[in-house]
Amino acid sequence: MATTEELTDDVHEAPDDDAEEREPTDEEGESKSGGKAKKDLPATAQPKVFERRSGAALRNVLTITKREFKAYFDSIVAYVVVCLTLLIVGVWFFFFGFWQVERASVSRLFDGVGSLPILLSFLVLPLLTMRALAEEKRSGTIELLITMPVKDSEVILGKFFAALGLTAVLLLCTLVYPIAMFAWPWHMGALDWGPVTTSYVGLLLMGSAGIAVGMMFSSFTENQIVAFFVTAAVLALLWFIGSIVEFVHGPIGDAISFVSFQTRFLPFSRGLVDTRAVIYFLSITIICLLAAFRSLESRKWS
Amino acid sequence: MSTDVMIYANDLSKNFGSFRAVDKINFEVRRGEVVGFLGPNGAGKSTTMRILTCFISPTGGTAKINGFDVFDDPLAVRESLGYLPQRAPLYLEMSVLEYLKFAADLRGLDDSTFKKRARSVVEVCGLAQVLGKEIRHLSHGYRQRVGLGQALIHDPPILILDEPTSDLDPNEKAEFLDYIKQIGQERTVLLSTHNLSEVEIACARAIIVSKGRVVADGPLDEIRAKSGRVRYVVSIQESAGTHPYRGKGLPPKKAEVETLLNALDGVRKVTELPTDERAHTYELATDEGVDLRPELFQMIVQKGWVLLELHRDAQTLEDVFRHLTIGDARRNRTLDAGAEDEDEESDEAEEETEADETDDDDSDAKDKD
């Protein structure tokens, strides 16, 4: 499930990726011809034409994704994230949800303090993205990466997919709980897998938006701690403002429910795939990735 | 531009805010040239290299690498070159082999080419012992070798190396320079360094930059000759200590020696060099084309002094370097020169000074380099 979702994500992103790559060249061209009087170049025999090997873009994104994904496991980040999440969700699920309500249900996985969406916002996504660009800029490794024949957009996308991949792995791990309770080894009854599936789809979509937000903040700073806290604060805010919707009426209330991740996620947890929410999460993803791309590119002009 | 101009910079400029790090730099490097890119700290060497590798964009001017413009074809430019940034920033959590593989993948090498290239890179850079080690556990010298390795992995026609030898030990340096010389036969290498003796070993040509401008560009011999000065060192006995004095009368006083030396024709400057109380030692600067040694000898014989040492040499590259970049050192020592940023490029403000009288007085700032 997670993998198909990832693929659809990829498809959604593809056309945008192209747009991303084309724009800057226009801009570069402009600033070059418009900016200053060019000196006469010595006559070149023929301008050389450069053609990129076919499939280079995709291959570069994959190479970077692979490296980043492995880096999560080479450092302890991946283990910490997975273990902490499983632990907190497990405690929340069994001691504060599962046995409290009279009927056996997995709704606790998606709702409340120790639930997956909140953990993702507060902990997982900020942790996964804080290093993405901030650390590369601080240590200078970005210079070696960027001076390889890769586009800035490929760097951003590669890192994005690595974080998304790890999020998918993490979500797969949490499937242990519903499976253990309702399929094997215990059979607590028939579980309605529909809402569970849509919830996971929603989580992954929200995850992709959150990762993009995190990468954006990571690209703004050289300090990964700053990136972590700002991302966590923004994602938490986007989640929790959904809780005050019932008290605020009128256009402000509408605006809040429009931007809140919580209200956007709600239909998924009830078994609905809300296209508006899908588009909302994907838009956030694209906008924030574009911002990160621009910020990475701005090093050229500062 | 003939086709074998591999690196071409025309009026390249870069401003960081109001600070001009690179100011209309012009140069060309051809195939088969190994060029030393020299200059004091903050002269704009790294900035120029970053422009050439498309890491940053110039504020003005054009640059072409292998015939590709850095604005229009950044990817083509990057494919044509291998680049080692200052201090070799690598991913510390990767092993050496993984890193080389990663670089090769991004360069689009297939597996069999990678194996072939990796073998030669490992041999050249001496990485056989550390291939499986994580980069974080390597010393700086080894990290620099890995950085070199990734720059060489795709066998690029152009190499741009920013202080490639800074962390190497003397043996490694010698080996590395040998190798550069060897591959420089059919490739193009631009390497920046502070270490002038390295340039003398590996490069036939040097470009010296100061305050963002090219102040000298040409074969090393030409650059050495550029300042057109010759220096003499004369040492005259001042006291014989416990031994009997062999000269005529009493040993000369300092003032006497100085006056006479200054009176000689063609002497532009007399500087006393530090010695013990046994000798007066002076350095004389003269114009080129005059040989003062006979006059000096005659004068000393006439006075009946005891000559301990007399030699003449053309200026070394180091002297020329000091002479050409002396303004930088001065500026670093005057507080009113402007804001001093933490950024390495920005430690010089726009301020043009005098650099006409040659004294080596404040050149000790350079020695640190």
- What are the Cα distances from residue B266, in Å, to B232, B261, B270? 12, 10, 11
Domain contains A221: yes
Q: Which residues in chain B have Cβ-Cβ distances shorter than 8 Å to A74?
A: 93-94
> Which residue in A33, A36, A44, A50 has the most chain B C-beta atoms within 10 A of its own C-beta, making it the best mutation to test that interface?
A50
Instruction: Name which of A44, A141, A149 is nearest B78 (Cβ-Cβ).
Output: A149
State yes or no: pLDDT of A154 exceeds 90: yes
Domain contains A33: no
Confidence bin at B329 (pLDDT 50/70/90): low
What is the per-residue pLDDT for A39? Answer: 41
Region B298-302: mean pLDDT is 88
Query: Which residue segment(s) compose the domain that A171 sits in?
Result: 2-9+55-300
Q: Which residues in chain B have Cβ-Cβ distances shorter than 8 Å to A45?
A: 3
Domain contains A243: yes
What is the per-residue pLDDT for A16? Answer: 41
State yes or no: pLDDT of B352 exceeds 50: no
List CB contacts of B56: < 8 A, sequence separation 6 or more. Answer: A299, A300, A301, B14, B47, B50
Kindly report, as residue ranges, where domains of CATH 3.40.50.300 are found in chain B. 5-223
State yes or no: pLDDT of B362 exceeds 80: no
Integer Cα distance of A283 and A107 in angstroms:
27
- Find the range with the poorest average confidence among A95-99, B109-113, B322-326: A95-99
Asked if the Cβ–Cβ distance from A42 to B1 is below 8 Å, we say yes
Region B240-261: mean pLDDT is 81
Integer Cα distance of B270 and B98 in angstroms:
60
Instruction: Name which of A74, A141, A299 is nearest B90 (Cβ-Cβ).
Output: A141
Quote the percentage of chain B above a pLDDT of 90: 37
Region B199-215: mean pLDDT is 89
Interface predicted TM-score (ipTM) over 0.90: no
Domain contains A177: yes
The CATH classification number of B5-223 equals 3.40.50.300
> Which residue in B106, B135, B341, B345 has the most chain A C-beta atoms within 10 A of its own C-beta, making it the best mutation to test that interface?
B106
Question: What tens digit of pLDDT does each residue of A172-214 get?
Answer: 999 888 888 888 788 777 778 888 999 999 999 999 999 999 9
Between A122 and B342, residue with greater pLDDT: A122
Region B230-237: mean pLDDT is 83
Q: Is B62 on the interface with A (CB under 8 A)?
A: yes
Confidence bin at A98 (pLDDT 50/70/90): low
Region B269-296: mean pLDDT is 81
**Residue B36 phi, psi dihedral angles, 5° rounding:** -90, 135
Confidence bin at A156 (pLDDT 50/70/90): very high
Q: Nearest C-alpha of chain B: how many angstroms from A136?
A: 9
Kindly report, as residue ranges, where domains of CATH 3.30.70.1150 are found in chain B. 228-314
Domain contains A19: no
Q: Nearest C-alpha of chain A: how many angstroms from B151?
A: 9
pTM assigned to the model:
0.79
State yes or no: pLDDT of B142 exceeds 80: yes
If we measure between CA atoms, which residue out of B234, B236, B216 comes closest to residue B226? B216
Counting the structural domains of chain A, the total is 1
Integer Cα distance of A208 and A167 in angstroms:
9
Q: Nearest C-alpha of chain B: how many angstroms from A112?
A: 37
The CATH classification number of B228-314 equals 3.30.70.1150
State yes or no: pLDDT of B361 exceeds 80: no
Domain contains A113: yes
> Which residue in B47, B83, B101, B105 has the most chain A C-beta atoms within 10 A of its own C-beta, making it the best mutation to test that interface?
B105
Question: What tens digit of pLDDT does each residue of A262-294 get?
Answer: 999 999 988 999 999 999 999 999 999 999 999
State yes or no: pLDDT of B116 exceeds 90: yes
* Sheet order of strands, B81-84 included: B81-84, B158-162, B188-193, B34-38, B205-210, B213-219
Domain contains A44: no
Instruction: Name which of B71, B75, B106 is nearest A52 (Cβ-Cβ).
Output: B75
Asked if the Cβ–Cβ distance from A48 to B76 is below 8 Å, we say yes
Confidence bin at B98 (pLDDT 50/70/90): very high
Tokens representing B368 are: 């640190």
What is the per-residue pLDDT for B327? Answer: 67
Tokens representing A72 are: 């999560």
Quote the percentage of chain A above a pLDDT of 90: 54
Domain contains A79: yes
| Mean pLDDT computed over every residue of chain B | 82
